[in-house]
Amino acid sequence: MDTTFLVCAILGAVLLVCEIAAGALGFGADHDTDTGGGDLDHGTDSGDGDGHGNWFFGVLSLRTATAALLFFGLGGKIAYYYEATDPAALGAALGAGALALYLVALAMRSLKDLKSDGTARVDRAVGCTGTVYLRVPGAKAGAGKVHLALQNRTVEYQAVTAGDELPTGKPVRVVAVVNSDTVEVEAA
């Protein structure tokens, strides 16, 4: 049993080093065997309504299997170090492996949730400030262009104003969204 734990720990460590090296070389982005399954805290329903039935296949990936193998071996070796019996060492190894699998899957899911589509939402522009890029004719007689600080980026939209003409470089504030690419502004 001791040899099995040692082999598992070494194999898990070698696979972990290979994963780290592959990631450093640019490989490994979305190359896991991830089935897109469900939440970690649901039994047989994935919670996403996507029809996958078993949560285990949702958390199983190369990364989680590597962590489980490594910690299975380490858990068994540590249990033997403290002179545990074979059944106790196997229990400790299984517990360590299962915990590692769960924690790594939880971390991967948390990282996946950090993704953003990067779309600037014009409906969030009301109240934002910016500057006039191309003059904006007064009394909504035509459209100019403004640069706005929206969602931590600078975006350019067509702009109209109900007030006086706004010259280039004038600070403005968005008061309304006209359509998907046009905002109504006023002098700030």
- Residue 133: predicted pLDDT: 95
3-state secondary structure 93-121: HHHHHHHHHHHHHHHHHHHHHCCCCCCCC
Residues 80/55, Cβ–Cβ less than 8 Å: no
- Domains of the chain with CATH codes: 2-113 (no CATH), 122-187 (2.40.50.140)
What pLDDT, on the 0 to 100 scale, is given for residue 31?
A: 45
Per-residue pLDDT of the chain (188 residues; tens, 9 = 90+): 889 999 999 999 999 999 889 888 888 655 444 444 444 444 444 444 444 557 667 678 888 999 999 999 999 999 999 999 999 999 999 999 999 999 999 998 888 878 776 777 888 899 999 999 999 999 999 999 999 988 888 999 999 999 999 999 999 999 999 998 999 999 98
pLDDT for res 112:
81
Q: DSSP letter at 163? A: S
Taking the model in full, what pTM does it have?
0.53
List of residues 6+ apart from 130 with CB closer than 8 A: 146, 147, 148, 149, 154, 171, 172, 173, 174, 185
